[in-house]
Structure 1
Amino acid sequence: MAAIPSSTPVPEARPAARGWAGRLAPLVILVVVLLVLAGVAELAPTVVQRRLTQGLINLVAVVGLYIFVGNSGVLSFGNVAFMAIGAYVSALLTMPAAAKGVFLPDLPAFLGQAEWPATAGALAGGAAAALVGAVAGFPLMRLSGISASIATFAILVVAYVVLGNWTSMTGGQNSLMGLPIYVGLWTAAAWAIVAVVIAFLHQESRSGLLLRASREDEAAAAACGVHMVRHRLIAFIISAFISGISGVLLGHFLGTVRVETFYLDLTFLILAMLVIGGMRSLTGAVTGAIVITLLTELLRQAEVGVTVGTTKLAAPGGLGDAVLALLMLLIILFRPKGIAGGREIGWPSPRRPVSPQKLSPQTATRIEETQP
């Protein structure tokens, strides 16, 4: 075998970033992306700003779903129930007393007169959702696979039935109106950043690492002493809290709360965002929410159409739903791990040449064969 000249540079795969700088890369990059997105959206027309604000609220919901689904590997259909709980609790605590007297005349006195600040109401809504998640998750986290997924769907159905029929407390099937509208573009962006930070801290924690170990191999993790039920429950509670916050944001963005809002349509939209982006990474969760939000806005503009002379060119109604379904199908068929491929985004690093003396004989032979 002929020797390779020592001066010949040999390409090397990009080295993985090490230390805290490398571990923090996904968090820093995602936060910067959200800030840039909000800054650009501020220059857009009001209608587009509202669409992107709702997209950031959905992003909070997707990140909340990722905290449990992405780390445990168990598909959950129940997070929209936690959104509904957060929205109704915040509404009951922050609505003006006069509005509650009109829509909810049978409320207990302490709730009828309560007018909490916006932040306190949001935290209370998230805490209420987390409490329900803890109570419901304690028995359910012992299940695995499709059984656990069906159980989480049961949470959604139970919440929908209870909230839709508890007329004295929630107004039943009627809408609660008069909520303080304080959620704008930057409020939604701030909560999106908070959600991303919480999700990142959880996945980098010992509990998150052990939960992902059980996701890959339950039997091996249990044999190593991993308490799978405990770590699943921790993730489920954190997920419920973030989902509750997203429900609060949605209620105070729309100015109204209705039980129909928090059911199957929103459930499948959030699941589609997570699946399309990639459910095994925080980068995938954020990417899916952003991509679907931008794609939905483009398709909405296409459905509105443009006028050329006396002819109006517009896409048929319902195109957005059809494209979303098709995109999800294509992702499942050709890229099951989603757009992000199950990986976290990192710092770009240049390829560095390595000395041929450091290569194995087999590698040197392959490189020599490629030389002209």
Structure 2
Amino acid sequence: MRAKLTGWVLGLVAIVLLLLAPLGLQNSPYLMHLAITAFFYAILASSWSLLAGYAGQFSFGHMAFMAIGGYTSALFSTYVRFTSAPTNLCREFPVGNMWLVFLEPVGITQSGAPNCLETAKATFAAGTVIIQPSLWFGIGLGVLMGGLFGLIIGAMVLRLRSTYLALFTIGFSEILRATISAEIDVTQGQSGMEMPPLFPRGLTVAGTFFGPASKIPPYYIMLILFLFCMALMGWLTASRFGLFIRSIREDEEAAAALGVHVVRYKILVFVITAMMAAAAGAIQNHYIGIITPNVLIILQMSIVIAMAVIGGLENIVAAAVGAIVIEFALELLRNSFDIGPFRIDMTTWRLVFFGALLMITLRFFRNGLIYPLLIRFTRGNVAAETVAKRQIVTNDEPPPGAPPAELPQEELPQKELSEARNA
């Protein structure tokens, strides 16, 4: 009980510090950027920990779901408009009193040709309204698309395990990357798609205006998403859902024999984690202002996996803390320094140290580096309480030389008593 209370207190203190951090970092945009990126990786690492560490589904397609969320939102903000009159040039559908207009991809390429809506403006009557939908609708659509693809991939890999599951999801990620790179007219290929900031017109809160380039609103948006995902995953792992997916990880056949709906829970965990990755990807790429197919290279997925493993694969909090610590460490180690006559360029060697740390963790620390520290701080008094209880039990033992206490006699059933008397 005391250990659980300690964990809650530490968690609340951490949340308060994170909420107050911008007050001290508002003049340090670089550190604010690191914090936003750290929350982004913490969502990815902790959700992958739920998928792989709890459910045993070692997927390498997590960054693909992130890219699906980002690209869906980018396509929505780039190609979708509402008009009060039909263009008669674009693909369009009536929606109430408005028209849903899809711009032609040829107008978004680098050729400079006007798109269909720009051409139609010359024929519009006076007072015709053109509305660009809020990017938050695009973000929501990206989350739904991430969940849809999570449902599809989760259903397709039901029979796959271990190496086959990893290879299948790597293939899915590579197919998605190749498709995005090839569709240059639509996605701009390797050049990437520009994305509007989260608040294109700025944001006013309590009389204070934050411009589109301010990092404080994106900080709180990503922090809220991070805390929501952590709360949801914490509730799931503590519920029957967490018990069922852990039983599937340990022995799928035994779990099915005990009544666990294996298919349902394997698909559910894919859908939930895919939607989290898609939400993080959409918000992060709107914050950065661009998304490219490079987010799908295997190195990016390897970094997320390494963060989860170094933090603690079978604990979502440890995975999230590991991601935050590693993100700050990798960025702060960019600087070079001198050792005697030698100059160490950390922009290269930092990844070497990161790889070495991962190898050491896998070889000697099965539960990661962060998880044992969390246990030490939150449950360090459990051992002392156990020893104290054992001492109390020991003190209740009778002194040497005392006659042994009579053991209570078990009551026999009435039938057995009658048979014993008749004998």
Partner of 1:220: 254
Q: How far apart are the structure 2 equivalents of 1:224 and 1:295? A: 45
Gaps of 5+ in 1: 1-14, 366-372
Q: Give runs of aligned pairs for residues 1-372 of structure 1, distance below 5 A.
A: 22=4, 29-30=10-11, 32-37=13-18, 39-40=20-21, 43-44=24-25, 45-95=28-78, 101-103=107-109, 115-182=132-199, 184-300=218-334, 302-303=335-336, 305=337, 315-341=345-371, 346=378, 349=381, 351-352=384-385, 353-354=388-389, 356=391, 358-359=393-394
| Contact in 1 for aligned 2:195/2:286 (Cα 8 Å) | no
| Contact in 2 for aligned 1:278/1:337 (Cα 8 Å) | yes
Gaps of 5+ in 2: 82-102, 118-129, 200-216, 401-423
Q: How far apart are the structure 1 equivalents of 2:165 and 2:248? A: 15
Deviation per CA, 1:266-307: give whole Å up to 9, x if none: 11111110111111111221121122022113212x33x59x
| Contact in 2 for aligned 1:85/1:125 (Cα 8 Å) | yes
Q: How far apart are the structure 2 equivalents of 1:359 and 1:208? A: 38
Q: How far apart are the structure 2 equivalents of 1:163 and 1:92? A: 12
Q: How far apart are the structure 1 equivalents of 2:7 and 2:176? A: 35
The Cα shift of 1:57 comes to 1.1
Which structure has the higher relative contact order (CA within 8 Å, separation 6+)?
1
| Contact in 1 for aligned 2:108/2:185 (Cα 8 Å) | no
In terms of fraction of residues, the more strand-rich structure is 2
Larger radius of gyration: 2
% identical aligned pairs = 23
Deviation per CA, 1:11-59: give whole Å up to 9, x if none: xxxx675xxxx4x976774464255245336524211221221111111
Q: How far apart are the structure 2 equivalents of 1:27 and 1:251? A: 32
Q: How far apart are the structure 2 equivalents of 1:38 and 1:89? A: 30
Q: TM-score, normalised by structure 2?
A: 0.70
Pair 1:32–1:232, CA change in 2 (3 A): farther
Pair 1:357–1:54, CA change in 2 (3 A): closer
Letter in 2 for 1:33: A
Letter in 2 for 1:175: G
Pair 1:226–1:39, CA change in 2 (3 A): same
| Contact in 2 for aligned 1:280/1:343 (Cα 8 Å) | no
| Contact in 2 for aligned 1:281/1:340 (Cα 8 Å) | no
| Contact in 2 for aligned 1:96/1:179 (Cα 8 Å) | no
Q: How far apart are the structure 2 equivalents of 1:262 and 1:134? A: 19
Q: TM-score, normalised by structure 1?
A: 0.79
232-241 or 315-324, which moves further after superposition?
315-324
Q: Provide the alpha-carbon RMSD of the alignment.
A: 3.5
